[in-house]
Structure formats: structure tokens, C-alpha cells
């Protein structure tokens, strides 16, 4: 089995975020449509956050650093 590579995992999450953006709307209307759109937004946010993370392995523990500060407040 190949060694775990955190950067490869991060790349997969970036791809998932892009896939959510390209996901076509199913032929639903009303409340079901709103539920689908809400779920797509949550999926995109989750995948994009992990896709933007800095990942490392520290003593066998996967560490994800995600900077949630607004861009103008970052050092």
C-alpha cells in the first residue's frame, strides 16, 4: 500500500468543490429545489475549505490548518 500523501487528499477535495459547482440542477421545483441548492452550497463550502487547507502529518496525526480570517486581516 502506498504511503498517505496529504497534498493528494487536498487536491481531491479541490476537485470535489469544482464538481459541486458544475453539478447540474435536477428537474425539481419548490421546496425540493431549495433543499438541493442548500445542500450544494454546504457541500461546496466543506470541500472548498478542506481544499484550501494546509495539510501535514505530525507524529502520524493528520493536521489540517484552515485560515478562516477575512483576507484583509491575514498577516
Q: Report the length, in residues, of the chain.
A: 75
Q: pLDDT tens digit string along 6-31?
A: 999 999 999 999 999 998 888 888 99
Dihedral angle over CA of 17, 69, 72, 39, nearest 10 = 30
Q: What are phi and psi of 28, to 5 degrees?
A: -125, 160
| pTM exceeds 0.85, yes or no | no
- Domains in the chain: boundaries: 6-22+29-67
Answer whether residue 75 shows pLDDT above 80: no
Amino acid at each position: 500500500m502506498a504511503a498517505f500523501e496529504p497534498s493528494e487528499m487536498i487536491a481531491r477535495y479541490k476537485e470535489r468543490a469544482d464538481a459541486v459547482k458544475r453539478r447540474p440542477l435536477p428537474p425539481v421545483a419548490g421546496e425540493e429545489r431549495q433543499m438541493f441548492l442548500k445542500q450544494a452550497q454546504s457541500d461546496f463550502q466543506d470541500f472548498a475549505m478542506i481544499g484550501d487547507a494546509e495539510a501535514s502529518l505530525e507524529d502520524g496525526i493528520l493536521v489540517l490548518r484552515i485560515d478562516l480570517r477575512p483576507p484583509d486581516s491575514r498577516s
